[in-house]
Amino acid sequence: MPEATVLAISTGVLRGVSDGGIDRYLGIPYAAPPFGMHRFHPPQAPEAWDGERNATQFGPTAPQLPYQRGMDKYLDTVEVPGDDILTVNVWTPADRDPDAKLPVLVFVHGGALTRGSAALPTYDGVTFARHGIVVVTVQYRVGQEGFAVLEDVPQNLGVLDQQAALRWVRHEIGAFGGDPGRVTVMGHSAGANTLSALLALPHAGELFDQAILQSGPLQAQPSKRAGRMTREIAKRLGVAATRAGFAAVAPPRLAAEQTALTAGGSPLGRGPSVALAIGGDAVPQNPLDALVAGASTSIPVLIGSTSEEYRLWLVPSGAVDRTRWSTVTLARVAARIPRRIVRAHRVRRPDATAGEVIGEIISDVLLRGPITRFADSRVGAEAPTYVYEFRWRSPVDRLGAAHAMELGFVFDRLDTADAVALGGPDAPQVLADAMHRAWVSFIVNGDPGWERWSPRRPVQAFDADGGHIDFAPRAEELAGLPTR
């Protein structure tokens, strides 16, 4: 039977709930609501409160529209109204020692920098907390609220939000039994992208001690290119691309205009999108460039992707079936992909369609190639790098081993509605056991249980068998990819 549990932090007293041996405190503000006088400003300190704050429900979600173009069938959108969107949620063992210093996991959700919420059922921290880990999930500004490129506004406000949340963790997590000196960050997709930007900072070690990056691009765009979406919205609305101009527009309207501009786009195109912008304190340079040059080599990293990332991007819209070989040729030339890379893909998968081949190449350019460059740059570094590839193929709607498919396995939450939508009701529990155990081991011990990256290029392949090592997979396809 759930019971109330009370705990004090620097800003006041929290009243959470204790159930099944786990205490949870939800919707805790780490910064002030980023609206009104704080809109389009860096995160500001939260106000203290009197009495007990109800911490039994998730806080409001960032302004966004639900997924569209068939993606809504597989990716759910949680909407909680309100302005207090800069919050964290904490799960911690109820029977912890009063002087406990437990390892801490901080999870940053994905959503293409335009959507997402920490309130999805799969992200519930209870499964990690059962292993003696204090879990924190983070809400941050997305879309134009967090990533508009405005003339008089710091770039990448959503990344500054995450920095504020991590400083909150360092300062407050001891009250929940966590060790502020044993913090592992974990991000998926856009969450991994933003964390790669933090990992590239000279002061990354002030924010966290280890990192898990799942299916996240390691790149940012030049400010002018990243600002195309903002400029297009300003033009459509007849406002200036400034703080005053955008602050005059209601957040739902900005989200609607942004969604309209991205409708019909795909990773094949070069239309406006929301992206990390190079410049300013949050992302002073392209993250991959800084990381390859040696940034944060003292921080252990677990990094990887799924084997068919592209299927979530191209299957729901039907683009995987509409793509012709002529499109592959045009895209290859535009992206300066050597012809031999296309041949290598066709040799490895002679039955692949044009849409599948171009999807594989997109996955290589966006994810697998940069991941390999990053890992290669850390051979012999002080801290280890571990690389994985998720290969289990879902039977749902030809999704296969698509983007986001691994989340239910990593969190060991295969029974949640959002995990079932991707993987179906019969996803292999043995694989969830293996992945969850590896992630727990990395968080607790800094070692997921397989060989660290070396010139042998060991990749832990997670399939229905629970996992095995492959050495230098996809070497032919990855050799000679453009580095931009």
Whether residue 304 has pLDDT greater than 80:
yes
Name the average pLDDT for the chain.
Answer: 94
Whether residue 267 has pLDDT greater than 60:
no
pLDDT of residue 478: 86
Mean pLDDT, range 428-449, rounded to an integer: 97
Express each pLDDT in 136-145 by its tens digit.
999 999 999 9
pLDDT of residue 332: 82
Express each pLDDT in 171-193 by its tens digit.
999 999 999 999 999 999 999 99
Whether residue 312 has pLDDT greater than 90:
yes
pLDDT of residue 451: 97
CA angle 210, 118, 234 (to 5 degrees): 105
Residue 333 lies in a domain: no
Which are the catalytic amino acids? 189, 309, 403
Whether residue 375 has pLDDT greater than 90:
yes
- What string of H, E and C letters represents the secondary structure of the chain? CCEEEEEEECCEEEEEEEECCEEEEEEEECCCCCCHHHCCCCCCCCCCCCCEEECCCCCCCCCCCCCCCCHHHCCCCCCCCCCCCCEEEEEEECCCCCCCCEEEEEEECCCCCCCCCCCCHHHCCHHHHCCCCEEEEECCCCHHHHHCCCCCCCCCHHHHHHHHHHHHHHHHHHHHCEEEEEEEEEEECHHHHHHHHHHCCCCHHHCCCEEEEECCCCCCEEHHHHCHHHHHHHHHHCCCCCHHHHHCCCHHHHHHHHHHHHCCCCCCCCCCCCCCEEECCCECCCHHHHHHCCCCCCCCEEEEEECCCHHHHHCCCCHHHHCCHHHHHHHHHHCCCCHHHHHHHHHHCCCCCHHHHHHHHHHHHHHHHHHHHHHHHCCCCCCCEEEEEECCCECCCCCECCCCCCHHHHCCCCCCHHHHHHHCCCCCHHHHHHHHHHHHHHHHHCCCCCCCCCCCCEEEEECCCCCEEEECCCHHHHCCCCCC
Mean pLDDT, range 306-321, rounded to an integer: 93
pLDDT confidence tier of residue 268, bands split at 50, 70 and 90: very low
Express each pLDDT in 250-259 by its tens digit.
999 999 999 9
What pTM does this model have? 0.96
Whether residue 324 has pLDDT greater than 80:
yes
Residue 444 lies in a domain: yes
Express each pLDDT in 458-475 by its tens digit.
999 999 888 899 999 988
Mean pLDDT, range 383-402, rounded to an integer: 97
Residue 24 lies in a domain: yes
Residue 322 lies in a domain: no
Mean pLDDT, range 373-378, rounded to an integer: 97
Residue 451 lies in a domain: yes
Minimum mean pLDDT range among 87-91, 305-309, 332-336, 401-405:
332-336
pLDDT of residue 221: 96
Mean pLDDT, range 439-449, rounded to an integer: 98
The more confident residue out of 14 and 477 is 14
The more confident residue out of 70 and 381 is 381
Residue 448 lies in a domain: yes
Q: Which amino acid, residue 373? A: R
CATH code of residue 293 = 3.40.50.1820
Residue 193 lies in a domain: yes
Rg (CA), the chain: 22
Write out the residue range of the structural domain in which residue 293 sits.
Answer: 3-317+361-478
Domain count along the chain? 1
Residue 142 lies in a domain: yes
Whether residue 271 has pLDDT greater than 80:
no
Mean pLDDT, range 73-88, rounded to an integer: 95
How far is the C-alpha of 351 from the C-alpha of 348, rounded, in Å?
9
Whether residue 149 has pLDDT greater than 90:
yes
